[in-house]
Amino acid sequence: MTRPVGRRGNLELILDWIAALRSGETDAIADLLDPDVVWHGLSGDLVCVGRAEVVDVLGEQVPLRIDVDALELICAPGRVVVGTRSDHLPEPPGVDLGGQIYNVFERRDCRFVAIRDFARRSEALEAAGLAGVTPWR
């Protein structure tokens, strides 16, 4: 169950998102989304506009049970990048994920206002304003 809406940090908010997806709690998912959220998929024709549409699409896929090998969470001001590595990721036609996908979540207050999917880590980091940032050593 997600925590009450308040002053949650990027990491806490994204962990609530992952928990809601894993449990299939569509109300909790909806609580984390701005009413006007836009989710841009990997191709231009994959777009969900508005909380109801995003929840409707996700409602067909939750509870989310994907065998994940690794998760990477990178916080940026007002954004968080989530990298997921798995041999079981669904691939849209014509897109080679190579077993990895990156999502950039943009937040306002304690809700996500935009989500963008990327096939490459460098593109996701650039979208989050982190291009050229020194990686971990």
The CATH number covering residue 115 comes to 3.10.450.50
Is 106 part of any domain? yes
Is 70 part of any domain? yes
Question: In the prediction, which pLDDT does 104 show?
Answer: 97
Is 4 part of any domain? no
Is 26 part of any domain? yes
**Residues of 14-52 as b/e, b for ≥16 C-beta within 10 angstroms?**
bbbbeebbeeebbebbbbbbbeebbbbebeeeeebeebe
Is 14 part of any domain? yes
pLDDT band at 134 (very low <50, low <70, confident <90, very high): low
- Domains of the chain: total: 1
Lowest mean pLDDT among 23-27, 30-34, 36-40, 132-136: 132-136
Is 134 part of any domain? no
**Residues of 77-98 as b/e, b for ≥16 C-beta within 10 angstroms?**
eebbbbbbebeeeeeeeeeebe
What would the pLDDT profile of 79-101 be if each residue is shown by its tens digit? 999 999 988 887 777 788 888 99
Residue numbers of the domain that contains 122: 10-127
Question: In the prediction, which pLDDT does 4 show?
Answer: 42
pLDDT band at 37 (very low <50, low <70, confident <90, very high): very high
Is the model's pTM score more than 0.85? yes
Is 101 part of any domain? yes
Question: In the prediction, which pLDDT does 1 show?
Answer: 43
Is 119 part of any domain? yes
Question: In the prediction, which pLDDT does 107 show?
Answer: 95
Instruction: Retrieve residue 19's tokens.
Output: 């928990």
What would the pLDDT profile of 120-131 be if each residue is shown by its tens digit? 999 999 999 998
